[in-house]
Amino acid sequence: MIPPRALRRWALLLIALLGSLSLGLWGLATERVEPVSVLMPAPFADATAELVNAFNRSHPRIALSVTRGPLETEAVSDLAISSLLLGESPYDLLLMDVSWTPKYAAAGWLEPLDRWLGPDALSDLAPGAELGNAFSGQLWRFPLVADMGLLYWRTDLMDAPPRTPAELVAISRRLQREGRVPWGYVWQGKQYEGLSCVVLEVLRGFGGHWHVENQPQLDSPAAVAAASWLQDLVRQGITPEAVANMGEPEALQLFQAGDAAFMRNWPYAWAELNKPDSPLRGKVAFTTMVSEEGQPHAATQGSWGFSLLTGSQHKAAAVEVLRFLTSAEAQKQLNLRWGYTPTRLSVFEDPELRAANPVLADLQQALAAAVLRPLSPVYAQLSDLLYRDVNTVITGDQPAPTAMRELQSNSERLLRSSGGQG
């Protein structure tokens, strides 16, 4: 028999224990914070840092953290893929380049966004920005910033930019002859993805197509003419031979030094060229790529957007992050503070932004000219075939007709062996 006093003491202790336990559990339940992790290339991680802080302040239940990825596009992809291959990716959201989407979707790494964002998710997007987010009938990506190929030209050397390939050549030769610039036109000619973007624009400008209904069209007369034009630029000395190893930074370096009249590059170059210490500050403008009479002035679409990963344990919270970071308010800040091109129509038409950023209307126009690289899970191979072959044309190792015939048959073989899943 236990004495009543001892019993009372035990009971009190038990009550105290249970009480504190339930208090703790209740606290845990209400204080539970959902972690959301995003992988972004380094420049985007820097640009969104303030937005991320704002999100964490206004959403106490979600702890958003950003992993600062490498600088280079393909290095980010390598990092993402290595983690995805291990099965349990540490990320919930991924900031993706437009050309990765079909591959990642086919690998089963992405969660369709239709269900999460609703049917009118894309309704506010500016014309051109809606391209490249959907693949095989589902939405896989929501664009954060737009990116498209632009033709930069020197306002101190000419009154108006060339609109046809022949005009570009004529102006370049005149300026070179007069000794005002050593070179006419610089672009991305290295054996890498940037060359595919350049080729697509020239190809469309000559009236050709990379793909029509999953069939490559790379030995068409227009495609051969486009490749020959690029080769002739080098042969005639309008483009330096070094272009065969030029990426975006190398082309920008040459143009910014004042050594060329034209450059093909992305919108980021605009901010670089207008920095206070830039020798070309105020002497540059941009337009879309040249094209033959009656053909489109094409701008290769190169945007970045968020995708939700299948392996995420916090999908609802991640979608909230996605909505916040791609909202009109966020895009406005990214443009004002960092010069990133928005994707939402409402942001393009924002009067405050229009006043602060005089080239916004030009960017919107260029975005409307956006063209897509083929949407295919084997796009990486298709592009690898294209930039290797066209690079041999640029170096002069192969005549354009031979190289394009070879490219066409290689592309056809690749698509055949992949079961027509082009």
Partner 1 sequence: MRWRLWLLMAPALALLLAIFAAPLLHYLWLSTQAQSVLTGLQPQPIGAQQWLRLWNDGRFWQDTWQTLRFSAASVSLEMLLGLAVALLLNQPLRGRGVLRTISLLPWALPTTVMALGWRWIFNDPYGPISRLLAGLELPAIPFLSNPALTWMATVGADTWKTTPFVALLLLAGLQTIPADLYEAAALEGATPWQTLRRITLPLLTPYLLIALLFRLAQALGVFDLIQVLTGGGPAGSTESLALYAYLNAMRFLDFGYSATLLLGSFAILLILCGAGAVIWRWSLRWQGGLR
Residues that bind partner 1 (CB under 8 A): 74, 77-78, 81-82, 103, 106-108, 190-192, 240-246, 250, 253-254, 257, 259, 377-378, 380-381, 384, 388, 391-392, 394-395, 397-398, 418-419, 421
- Residue 20: CB atoms within 10 Å: 10
Query: Quick one: the chain helix, strand, coil %, rounded to 5?
Result: 50, 15, 35
- In the bound state with partner 1, the residue whose beta carbon lies nearer, of 103 and 264, is 103
- In the bound state with partner 1, the residue whose beta carbon lies nearer, of 264 and 297, is 264
- In the bound state with partner 1, the residue whose beta carbon lies nearer, of 172 and 288, is 172
Nearest distance, CB of residue 241 and partner 1, angstroms: 5
Do 132 and 98 meet the contact criterion of CB atoms below 8 Å apart? yes
- Residue 38: CB atoms within 10 Å: 23
Burial 214-238 (b: 16+ CB within 10 A, else e): eebbbbbebbbbbbbbbbebbeeeb
Q: In whole angstroms, what is the distance from residue 420 CA to residue 10 CA?
A: 76
Nearest distance, CB of residue 203 and partner 1, angstroms: 20
Q: In whole angstroms, what is the distance from residue 297 CA to residue 180 CA?
A: 27
- In the bound state with partner 1, the residue whose beta carbon lies nearer, of 16 and 75, is 75
Tell me if residue 378 falls in helix, strand or coil: coil
Nearest distance, CB of residue 330 and partner 1, angstroms: 31
Q: Copy the structure tokens of residue 283.
A: 């002497």
- In the bound state with partner 1, the residue whose beta carbon lies nearer, of 46 and 241, is 241
Nearest distance, CB of residue 403 and partner 1, angstroms: 10
Nearest distance, CB of residue 59 and partner 1, angstroms: 34
**Distance between terminal CA atoms of the chain?**
83
- In the bound state with partner 1, the residue whose beta carbon lies nearer, of 143 and 377, is 377
Annotate 253-286 with three-state secondary structure: HHHHCCCEEEEEECCHHHHHHCCCCCCCCCCEEE
Chain mean position to CA 369? 16
Nearest distance, CB of residue 397 and partner 1, angstroms: 5
Nearest distance, CB of residue 254 and partner 1, angstroms: 7
- In the bound state with partner 1, the residue whose beta carbon lies nearer, of 158 and 242, is 242
Q: In whole angstroms, what is the distance from residue 225 CA to residue 131 CA?
A: 27
Do 389 and 404 meet the contact criterion of CB atoms below 8 Å apart? yes
| Sign of the dihedral defined by the CA atoms of residues 340, 342, 347, 350, in that order | positive
- In the bound state with partner 1, the residue whose beta carbon lies nearer, of 64 and 186, is 186
Nearest distance, CB of residue 130 and partner 1, angstroms: 24
Nearest distance, CB of residue 104 and partner 1, angstroms: 9
- In the bound state with partner 1, the residue whose beta carbon lies nearer, of 231 and 331, is 231
